[in-house]
Amino acid sequence: MFADLHRPGDPLLLPNAWDHASGAALAAAGFKAIGTTSLGVAAAIGVADGASETKQATLDLAASLVHLPVPISVDAEHGFSDDPLVVADYAQRLEALGVAGINLEDRNQDPKHHADVISAVKQATSLFVNARTDTYWLGDGTGTEERCRIYIDAGADGIFVPGARDDLEGLTNLGAPLNVLFLPGMTIERLASQGVARVSTGSALYRRAIGAAVEAATAIRAGEQPPPAPSYAEVDAYQR
């Protein structure tokens, strides 16, 4: 089960895909589960991340990934609605596709409301709910542990604190697996020693792919050979 992959001290490295080919390639590389990246989904269709404009695109991506031989966890921003029951309905649609987990973010706003969203989703589904708090991402970290406790009490299966990198032991002792975002300077070994149970790459792989594409095109324009890439046949083989 997806939940069993969350082991404090032996963290699940969860790479985040943005389309079918990236997800298939990551699964073929041996990763035990695949997440999605909201930035990658949004940027691929030309809209801003976090603007609640990728509700259908996220469903479409989930539908294309669930055939892979690994659990799929979906980044659903804040649930694409302020109504907990609407978010729960959306979560049910993801679960019906075969999705194993969902990320839901609080955007550093009212923790009581986010707790209501988590509770509604847990009552409606058996998805692994990763409750994200943006206290570090959008603030200075104040109130992180209090928010996490509220979300765990509401039924969250895991807590996600992007931006946190120091003093993680306090967050790993709250009674639910801690997920952090991999940031420059981090190592899996160090995070494991602090009791982290899940490490996400977030938008990093998508951004690196964009950077690599520009680097290759620039090299060709300059009369240079671009770095090696997967072959046409290899990528074509990722089709369902």
Question: At a CB cut-off of 8 Å and minimum separation 6, what does 114 contact?
Answer: 104, 106, 131, 133, 147, 150, 151, 154
At residue 166, the pLDDT reads 81
Superfamily (CATH H level) for 3-206: Phosphoenolpyruvate-binding domains (3.20.20.60)
The sign one gets for the Cα dihedral 117, 123, 124, 130 is positive
Q: How confident is the model at residue 151 (pLDDT cuts 50, 70, 90)?
A: very high
Cα–Cα distance, 68 to 207 (Å, whole number): 23
Tokens standing for residue 158: 């895991």
Give the pLDDT confidence of 217-240 residue by residue, as tens digits: 999 999 999 999 999 999 999 987
Give the pLDDT confidence of 73-111 residue by residue, as tens digits: 999 999 999 999 999 999 999 999 999 999 999 999 999
Q: Can you tell me the mean pLDDT for 145-174?
A: 95
* Strand arrangement, sheet containing 16-17: 12-14, 198-200, 178-181, 158-160, 128-132, 101-105, 72-75, 34-36, 16-17
